[in-house]
Amino acid sequence: MEPFAPGILHPTDFSEASRVAFAHALAIALAQKAKLTLINASRDMPTVEEWERFPSVRGTLEDWGLLEKGSARSDVFEKLAVKVKKVTVDDSPVSAINEYLREHPADIMVLATEQRSGLPQVLRDSVSGKVAHRKGVDALFVPEGARGFVNPSDGSLSLKRILLPVDTSPDPAPAVTAAAWASHWLGHAPVRVDLLHVGDAMPPVDLSPLGECQVEQVLRQGEPVDEILAAARELESDMVMMATDGRDGFLDIFRGSHAERVVHGAPCPVAAISVA
């Protein structure tokens, strides 16, 4: 099955919420044998102490039982085929991410989000009135305190159920493909995909990429965001996977869109899949 995330970018502010998001980013990198870049940005010049606060990829993999204790740094790539890069930038987070993506394109960003505001944890001080102008970047938002599908302590996966809201617009096809990838590489088979449409009749959706997933169609009436959040809670979804057509880039979903409101209230991680 073709990957959807060969390059992962994880902005971190070294918080506990970012630690949980880091575990998700690392799990995706392991599944895809991908390059994982950790980036921290601030207005102050990074110090040695700040550099050492980056989450330890090698130490985490040792805790997860994937590397022996005391492994060499090179073992991360030589034994697990994961390339790791850590970057510190003396800039605001939004500017730093924009600039980094301009020179080093990534396919998915994994970010922690604040429980109170729903904003990305590392961007909470600088996102107002600004947009990261970078189209085509998918994002996995891991809400603070939400039920994740990666256990940070041992790396175990618990992705068993994906909620996939669909409508005629934006095109749900990229989200269907992403759900199929996540089910195959991160899920406990058989993964159940709940295809949710808020309205009278399910729109036509090509479900062939979902293969052996258990697919259930769910129709609900009401306000779309309310129904998506209610369904995620009632169905005990491990992830919400939704297509988004942010006009200016990944942060455009934080300008009053449905995706922003879903991220703000979701009980689980939310994947926003860009529709080019």
CA–CA–CA angle 243, 210, 221 (5° rounding)? 50
Within 10 A of 144 (CB to CB), how many other CB atoms are there? 18
Is the pLDDT reported for residue 249 higher than 50?
no
Q: How far apart are CA 96 and CA 7, in angstroms?
A: 17
Q: State pLDDT tens for residues 91-106.
A: 777 777 888 888 888 8
pLDDT tens track for 138-187: 889 998 888 899 999 999 999 999 999 999 888 999 999 999 999 999 99
Is residue 264 packed enough to be buried (19+ CB in 10 Å), middle (13-18) or exposed (0-12)?
buried
Query: 26 pLDDT exceeds 80?
Result: yes
Q: What is the predicted pLDDT for the residue at 128?
A: 29
The token pair at 125 is 């001080």
Domain boundaries, the chain: 7-274
Which CATH number is associated with domain 7-274? 3.40.50.12370
Q: For the full predicted model, state whether its pTM sits above 0.95.
A: no
